């Protein structure tokens, strides 16, 4: 464990001040170059990440940058780079493939043990079930043999040498996850939608069994008797001025004490 930690610290530029400063100078050189992909031009941060990955897998930084892509903010490397990294790791004899029209298995002999290691078998049934084949613009439709090799190599690396990938996916895998990826001006790839099945809510609602209607008995509304605020009818002529007046007007009259209407 201590030797593993020492190895990480030795090659981890983000944990060593001097190594970080040196990497910054190297990244600045790459960022100003016209020979790196757009996602690294004038972007020291992306160059630093590529340099760190190259240092961890002990590969040429320029080769890494030429085969690294960014899809939805996630870096991915090409399948051919994975095959090269497996072959140069020093742990295996060159990677080989057992393949047919509808399957492929990557395998290699472990140099130390002499044992032949077989990766996961990639079949056309798997490709169809995962939705890789039906995706618009999928390379599985035009070059299935090459895609079989790239995918089986990625599965082999995840099983027997995950340090080659360091948790990253291949560009081909990212393309299978995201639909209609397009290259942005900064070199990254933006995805319009994911490869997950879209749920048609309208069809679900239309096919749903309607819930039974429960009738609730309504209690009769009690009518509240309100006082009649309508004006009072006219009474007889006022004995004071001979005019007809309402009861309200009579109430205000100064002569109501002697008025027959109030007797």
Average pLDDT for the chain: 79
**Residue 222, C-beta contacts closer than 8 angstroms, at least 6 positions apart:** none
What are the sequence ranges of the domains in the chain?
1-66, 71-169+192-199
Closest to 47 in 3D by CA, of 27, 66, 69, 32: 27
Contact 86, 191 (CB under 8 A): no
Phi-psi map region of 58: left, alpha, beta (phi>0 left; psi -120 to 50 alpha): left
181, containing H or E segment: strand 178-183
pLDDT tier for residue 261 given thresholds of 50, 70 and 90 = low
pLDDT in tens, 58-106: 899 999 999 998 877 888 899 999 999 999 999 999 999 999 999 999 9
127, containing H or E segment: helix 124-129
**Residue 148, C-beta contacts closer than 8 angstroms, at least 6 positions apart:** 97, 99, 103, 104, 122
- Could you give the CA distance from residue 162 to residue 160 in angstroms, rounded to a whole number? 6
- Only one residue has tokens 């490397």, namely 77
Cα dist. 193→129, 182, 204 in Å?
A: 19, 11, 21
Closest to 88 in 3D by CA, of 62, 66, 68, 108: 108
192, containing H or E segment: strand 189-194
pTM: 0.61
On the CB side of 79, CA atoms within 13 Å amount to 19
pLDDT in tens, 166-194: 888 888 888 887 644 555 666 554 555 44
- Only one residue has tokens 């040196």, namely 22
Hey, which of 6-10, 166-170, 210-214, 227-231 has the most confident mean pLDDT?
166-170
Contact 154, 60 (CB under 8 A): no
CA dihedral 2, 116, 128, 141 (to 10 degrees): 100
- Could you give the CA distance from residue 71 to residue 208 in angstroms, rounded to a whole number? 38
What DSSP designation does 244 have? B
Closest to 144 in 3D by CA, of 129, 119, 157, 127: 127
pLDDT in tens, 21-67: 999 999 999 999 999 999 999 999 999 999 999 998 889 999 999 99
β-pair partners for 182: 190
28-41 as b/e: b if 16+ CB within 10 A: eebbeeeebbebbb
- Could you give the CA distance from residue 238 to residue 45 in angstroms, rounded to a whole number? 102
């Amino acid at each position: 464990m201590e030797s593993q930690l020492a190895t990480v610290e030795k090659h981890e530029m983000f944990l060593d001040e001097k190594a970080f400063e040196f990497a910054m100078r190297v990244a600045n050189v790459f960022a100003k170059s016209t020979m790196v992909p757009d996602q690294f031009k004038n972007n020291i941060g992306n160059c630093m990440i590529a340099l760190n990955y190259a240092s961890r897998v002990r590969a040429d930084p320029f080769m890494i940058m030429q085969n690294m892509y960014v899809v939805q903010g996630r870096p991915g490397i090409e399948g051919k780079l994975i095959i090269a990294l497996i072959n140069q790791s020093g742990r295996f004899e060159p990677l080989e493939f057992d393949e047919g029209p509808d399957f492929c298995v990557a395998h290699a002999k472990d140099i130390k043990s002499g044992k032949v290691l077989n990766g996961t078998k990639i079949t056309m049934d798997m490709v169809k079930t995962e939705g890789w084949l039906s995706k618009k613009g999928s390379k599985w439709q035009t070059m299935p043999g090459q895609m079989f090799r790239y995918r089986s190599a990625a599965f082999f690396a995840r099983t027997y040498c995950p340090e080659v990938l360091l948790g990253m996916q291949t560009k081909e895998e990212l393309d299978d996850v995201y639909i209609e990826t397009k290259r942005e001006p900064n070199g990254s790839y933006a995805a319009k939608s994911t490869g997950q099945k879209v749920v048609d809510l309208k069809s679900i609602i239309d096919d749903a069994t309607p819930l039974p209607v429960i009738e609730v008995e309504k209690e009769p509304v009690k009518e509240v008797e309100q006082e009649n605020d309508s004006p009072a009818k006219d009474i007889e002529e006022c004995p004071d001025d001979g005019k007809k007046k309402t009861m309200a007007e009579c109430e205000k009259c100064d002569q109501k004490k002697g008025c027959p209407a109030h007797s």
